Structure 1
Amino acid sequence: MAFLNKIVPILLLPVLAGCEEVFTPDLPHTPVLCVNSLVSAGEPIEVSVSKSRLYTDSADKSEVKDAVVNIYANGKLQLDSYIPVEGDEIRIVAQSKSFGTADAEVFVPMATPIQGVKWETYDVNCWQNDYGYYNIQFRLKVFLTISDPAGENYYKFSFQNTNTDNIYEDEDNQSNSHTPYISVTDLQYDLEPIFSEHIGIFESVMGGDAYAFSFFTDRQFAGKSYTLTLQFNNCWFSGTFDEMPDCDFILTLNSISSSYYNWANYVWQRDNGALNELSDYGFGNPIWGYSNCTSGAGVVAAQSTDEYRIDLSDFIKETITNHKNNNQ
């Protein structure tokens, strides 16, 4: 019977959705300062200051014209041109005569080096198009190993193509171009279990997945090595053997602050979590926005970066050569 008590509210959701009414409650609201910043080691610090507003207010009502921002590194006031380094303790203080004060502290984590990378291509298909260019379609699987340092650590993985500006698709949804390019996309997030560690059993049963979520912690491999399995299912090259674009594919491992991870986890729960849908209909507690600022609005986060470049040029040249030899 206890099980039925939990299931019945879920079954009632479509019924309640059909009779809901939109209204704007008259809620008291005192605006406070909202401070946002992503501090990156080796880059100038950019700070965004606004004020909190009701959900029904327009974005132009969040501007703060009299805000003064001070940046401290390891307890010392710095100029706006200060460049943070790994290990810095950064404190950002914003003050406004109209909306008070807000400040937040964040530790710039030490970058975790990428220990090793192995990769392989498969399902390779090569042909020559009407422009005389070789089109190569393939899949790429990458095994990226990191060595987790001592302590509690948080990570974000990302990737970047260096040459995708000249891509377009023809009527058959096949990529063609008069200018050489290479593109590696369509990461299969569900094939790397570490990207789903934030998803509970209930969210999983309700259809939650890790698509586009590449944040993770070291809870499952604290102080040890871990290898991420990264499979890219939509990879293209268009060009010639003699006219070769930059074929680098960049893998990025960001060591991030806990505030960055907590904010990303909150955004996933808000946009994709089943518990947030239940709270919208009154069947659960609301999911409150995350903030590490003293005002309760805004997030100050930090990251340090390590990169690894995969050069696909030898693979491309070998594939074109084999195609030529097989069609002579």
Structure 2
Amino acid sequence: MKPVLFLCILLLASSCMKEIDLEHMRPAPKLVLNSVASNGEILKASLSRTWFYTDGKPNQLLEARIGLYVNDQFKEEMSLNMDANDYYSFGNYVASYIPVSGDKVRIEVEKGGFNSLLAETTVPYKPELISLKAESFIRDDYYGSTQSRFKITFRDEPTVGNCYLIMVYRGEPHYEYDDYEAPPIYQDEYYWHKEYVDYSSDPVFENKISILDKVMGNDWLSGGGGRPFSDELFNGKEYTMTLKGNSSYGYNPGYPYLEERLPDSVRVYLYTITEPYYKYLSALTSLYDGSLNNDLADIGLAEPVRVFCNIDGGLGILGAACVDSLTVVVPKAN
């Protein structure tokens, strides 16, 4: 009886299987352009193409004509940098032009076999970053853990709706040993790394966490690469953003004693960004957030996040930004 039952189950299971040929679903490939015009930095652009699921991960480095226009005047053709020693520009198209605030930047791309691309943006002006204050407090007396809190004050321009990106870095003094029996020696430099702050600690980001996420215990908003926000809550006003940093569980025994060790520093970068760039970054941060909606979207039970695009004729983003920064010492916890 059991073999017959097993055979029936096998036949039922096999009847639910269907081989799908994906090739008839293959769309025509499109060019993908990604670039950010930042005030005071050489303009770079990445050009690639879309690829189909069955292609694996093909080489997408493309040679094309990329024309750069500034304030409606032709500036130059961007050149493909293939110098492998140039880490930050290798594989990108590079211009000699350095954008400044107020410039209208247009990029046009021509590549045989593809639709031509066109994208345009205007470089924004520098944000008004007023002050940065760092605090430290004891989080757990038993384990000796401490936590930092950062208060960033800036003023918003009242005449227009503004979009921003904020990033927090932490600097730790660099020590090395000449002799393991002697105290380590400070090397006159700091190591800087991204501070993984909890962005949910400020009202600007509260609406990014749904009620269901809070019920499920997901009340943390990360953002190692920074987090975008708009001036919806404080348009035209001075605003102080409060963010909590990582917890620290004491100092490495290899460092000098606490009273001798130089303090850490914190550096905040505040960018003014264009609205299309804000929409693009908001979609990316939503994709990386550990939300219930993303989990449901992965199994086809919710609408997936759609990434914003402002490239006519293709995909990608042409954003623009202008940055200000402040650096302060992180005090010892009281």
**Deviations 1:171-201 (CA, angstroms, capped at 9, x unpaired):** xxxxxx9454677844222212212334455
SS class of match (2:116): strand
1:69 counterpart (66, 69, 89) = 66
| 1:204 Cα deviation after fit | 5.4
Q: Which residue is 1:295 aligned to?
A: 313
Indicate the residue corresponding to 2:127 in structure 1: 112
CA contact (8 A) 2:135 2:150 kept: yes
Moved more, 240-249 or 189-198: 240-249
8 Å CA contact 2:200–2:219 kept in 1: the answer is no
Q: 2:283 pairs with 262, 266, 274, which one?
A: 266
Moved more, 42-51 or 56-65: 56-65
Please name the residue that 2:274 is paired with.
257
SS in 2 for 1:262: helix
Query: How big is the shift at 1:164?
Result: 6.4
Query: What secondary structure is seen at the aligned counterpart in 2 of 1:294?
Result: coil
1:211 corresponds to: 222
Of 81, 93, 116, which residue of structure 2 is paired with 1:101?
116
Equivalents in 1 of 2:276, 2:21: separation in Å? 32
By how many angstroms is 1:122 displaced? 2.1
Match of 1:59 in 2: 57
Residues of 1 paired with 2:192 and 2:40: CA distance? 28
Q: If the length of structure 2 is used for normalisation, what is the TM-score?
A: 0.70
C-alpha displacement of 1:42 = 0.3
* TM score, norm. by length of structure 1: 0.71
Residue from 241, 245, 262 that aligns with 1:232: 245
| Pairwise CA distance, 1:277 | 4.5
CA distance in 2 between counterparts of 1:252 and 1:264 reads 16
AA aligned opposite 2:32: C
Q: Secondary structure at the match of 1:299?
A: strand
Amino acid at match of 1:159: V
- Judged with a 3 Å threshold, the aligned counterparts in structure 2 of structure 1 residues 81 and 123 are, in CA distance, closer, same or farther, namely same
Q: Give the unaligned 5+ runs of structure 2.
A: 1-15, 77-94, 177-182
User: Judging changes above 3 Å, is the alpha-carbon distance between structure 1 residues 23 and 260 closer, same or farther for their aligned structure 2 residues?
Assistant: farther
Q: What does residue 129 of structure 1 align with?
A: none
Are the structure 2 counterparts of residues 124 and 183 from structure 1 closer, same or farther at C-alpha, using a change threshold of 3 Å? farther
- Check whether the contact 2:102–2:125 (CA below 8 A) recurs between aligned residues: yes
Partner of 1:311: 329
Counterpart position of 2:40: 42
**Cα deviations across residues 219-266 of structure 1 (Å, max 9, x unaligned)?**
111111211002223357644799866854211111111122211222
Which runs of no fewer than 5 residues in structure 1 stay unpaired?
1-18, 126-135, 168-176, 323-328
Q: For residues 218 and 61 of structure 1, do their structure 2 counterparts lie closer, same or farther at Cα, with a shift above 3 Å needed?
A: same
Tell me the CA shift for residue 274 of structure 1. 4.0
Work out the CA distance in 2 between the residues paired with 1:297 and 1:68.
Answer: 17
Distance 2:206 2:47 in 1: 33
